[in-house]
Amino acid sequence: MNAMGPARVLVVDDAVVFRKAITDALADDPDVTVVGTASNGRLALLKIPLLNPDVVTLDVEMPELDGLATLAEIRRQWPKLPVIMCSSFTSEGAVTTMKALDQGANDFIAKPAGVGGMAEAMAALRKELLPRIKALTGRSTAGLVSRTRPAVSMPHAPSPSVTLGGSGPVTLVPAPMTQRRLDMLVIGSSTGGPNALADVLPLLPSDLPVPVLLVQHMPAMFTKLLADRLTEKGAFPVREATDGAIAKPGEAWIAPGGFHVVVKKDGERFVLRLTQDMPENSCRPAVDVLFRSVAQLSVPTLAVVLTGMGEDGLRGAQLLHAAGNPVLAQDQATSVVWGMPGAIAKAGIASAILPLNAIAAEIVKRLRHGRPAWNGAVRSRQPAAV
């Protein structure tokens, strides 16, 4: 990455209109500069060593060398170079984008569809692309712990007593009553989240004694594909949430793009409700909405916040923590963007800050409390497909 200055962006797309749209959308921000464009992957690979970009926006479908093949070569030659995929909002584009995330893309945006004209398209691109570029290149606090806005004060939040963000586990003072039996697992993630979830969920045992509820910032269509991908990799089903679904132990539900998920109790049953209330933290689904609804149930819950930009999940996690529920946060070293988990750490409400490869084991360990008959064990990692 270049010395701190405007983030240098290489725009790769076979459509001249879209290359111009991205270039124009980014033009007015002093923290970002487009240093070049390329109409296909072959040209992009030639330009990267010449232009030394900080981030590449990469079209999924291109002639000569498509997005997946280009991404594979970028990862081979420049493994640390951030890549944001630009996907058409179609089922085929979504499938290819999920493959790109599997192959190491850092994030993606869906190309504007159904907007009124170029001005609206540029506004949509600016809203979706700029925060990602800044977070992935460190040009914005969107991906970092806020240094200027204090976290909401909560009654039981301890102050961190160690340096945060190391590569190993860092245990902080736990919230009260964390040794009780936990009856629900809730997980929030954003940038880098699909791959983080694919690293954590498949290691959890098939006889998990609690339901799992997930919020990953993704648009509609993509969340269904993510659920299918996680089901294929793991030992229990992951489904896109539907209104009225009953969340049971040994299965997971992911909030669908465009909808918040809240949890209601019907006797002993956990009932999922979908809403299209206003976005929170510019997100729908929002982690805060799910966490807050669970906190209101007074159900002992384990919360996990994984990689992602911004602070979505912080306020909901504070409510869960204040009620005596443990909150785990991914560490800085293994996060694509240490925004969401970093906010948890900075607020002092993390029961533990862990590298990604230690989170599944910590989840299983904490779910064993109060369950002497449950012998759940972390599953072995499956070898990567050749």
pLDDT tens, position by position, 63-114 = 889 999 999 999 999 999 999 999 887 778 889 999 999 999 999 998 887 6
Asked which of 55-69, 121-135, 172-186, 198-212 is least confident by mean pLDDT, the reply is 172-186
Give the integer Cα–Cα distance in Å for 129 and 360: 31
- Most confident among 4-8, 93-97, 224-228 (mean pLDDT): 224-228
Supply the pLDDT for residue 148. Answer: 30
As a whole number, the mean pLDDT across the chain is 88
Residue numbers annotated as active site: 190, 217, 312
pLDDT (average), residues 348-357? 98
pLDDT > 90? residue 197:
yes
CB atoms within 10 A of CB 265: 12
Cα dist. 150→326, 344, 346, 349 in Å? 21, 12, 9, 13
Q: Find, among 152, 174, 171, 154, the residue nearest to 162 by Cα.
A: 171
pTM (two decimals): 0.87
- Is there a contact between 187 and 313 (Cβ–Cβ < 8 Å)? no
Task: Report the pLDDT value the prediction gives residue 383, as an integer from 0 to 100.
Answer: 53
